[in-house]
Structure formats: structure tokens, C-alpha cells
Chain A
């Protein structure tokens, strides 16, 4: 299985400040069709995961533009330009290039 490694695992942030989460895969996530199937999810306490970003950098409908994704190959980043109160929770990266799909361990974004 492809191992997804996130860092940091805990990220204390101040409201209004930026935040950045790294995700690295044990294999390239470039698929034979040329696409890179790297996704980011947000999970608030007691809720199911919500997808924020697909194919590295595409925001899902309704996702604020303060969220952005970047990266290529095996190295990816999720950035929040200015953290708001509703952004606290756990963030997961997930690869869909290789079967089975695998998730990172999660990064807990919490109030500093």
C-alpha cells in the first residue's frame, strides 16, 4: 500500500494567521492518465470527513478560497491563508491513484 505521511501531526494556530500541512507519499501519485489523484479532507469533531481539495489543487464547491492545495509527484501541501474559527479540526490527505486508497495519519489544527 502507498503510505501517506503528514506533518506536523499537531498544528497550533492563532486566528487570522496562516497554516500549512505537508503530505508525502511513498510512491509517485501520477496516474497513467497524467492526473495526480491527491485529495484533502477536513473532519470536524463528531462529523464525517468533508472533501476540500481534489486532484492536488482543485477546490470542491463551497470551499472558501483561503484553502489552497499544491504539489506534485510525492510531495503535497495544504495551506490556509488566514485560519478562521470554523477551520479547527483534523485534516487528512488521501491518494486515489493506487488501490487501495490510503489516508495520511491526520493533522489536528487547534487553537494556539
Chain B
């Protein structure tokens, strides 16, 4: 059973870089699939941030592309998100998820999410 778990600081100062990690269990991320990040501001809808293929190719939402970096750490079986120059508008629950690009073109397995607040 594939499971994902986000971790990282819950509070980030404005203008700094938000860094999160997603640990994957039950599947080796180097074997296949895309691995992605989605966020949800409090009381609002869902926004795709981007994803990374098991080969390392990345795909970012154009609205965030200039500030986003997603990387793989295959020895630790995890992947990470960095979002630079954050503002209060980046306050959200951040989810990591598996993107099934082979059959359904959708995020099919999600982590539980982690709340990140941007505040001084």
C-alpha cells in the first residue's frame, strides 16, 4: 500500500524559502510515476504546484514556476518542494501526491497534508 507523508516547518517568514519533504512508503519512487505537490489556502480550493517524473523531469504550474523547485531524493525515497520569496498568500495546507500519468492523468494517492503559515 503506497503512502505519502509530508514534513517541514509550519511557520515561514515572509521573503524566505518554504521547504517541505514528502516521504513515500510502499513504492520506490525511482521505479515510476510522477510525484507532485498541491496546495489549499484556508477555506479555499486546490491548486497544483507541480510534479516531478521518476527520471527527474519537472513540470511546474506557470503561475508559480519562477519560485518553485521540486527534487527527488531516491536513496531516501522522498521528494521535496522549495518555494522561494514567500508571502502571506502562500499560507496553505500543502499536500504531496502521486500523479498517475500512465492511465488516469490525475493525483490518485495523497498525503495527509501539512499546514504552512507565512508570518513574521
- List residues of A whose CB falls within 8 A of some B CB: 1, 31, 35, 37, 39, 47-51, 54-55, 58, 60, 92, 94, 96-97, 99-106
Distance from A62 Cβ to chain B, minimum over Cβ atoms (Å): 12
Interface residues of B (CB under 8 A from A): 45-48, 50, 59, 61-63, 95, 103-108, 110-113
Q: Would you call the interface of chain A mostly helix, strand, loop, or mixed?
A: loop
Contacts of B105 in A (CB 8 A): 31, 35, 37, 96-97, 101
* A103-B111 in contact (CB<8A): no
Which 8 A-B pairs have CB atoms at the shortest separation, nearest pair first? A96-B105, A37-B105, A54-B104, A100-B61, A103-B46, A48-B110, A39-B106, A101-B48
Query: What 10 additional pairs, Cβ within 8 angstroms, besides A51-B107, A54-B103, A97-B105?
Result: A35-B105, A39-B106, A48-B113, A51-B106, A51-B108, A94-B107, A96-B106, A102-B48, A105-B45, A106-B46
Docked Cα-Cα span, A60 to B110, in Å, equals 14
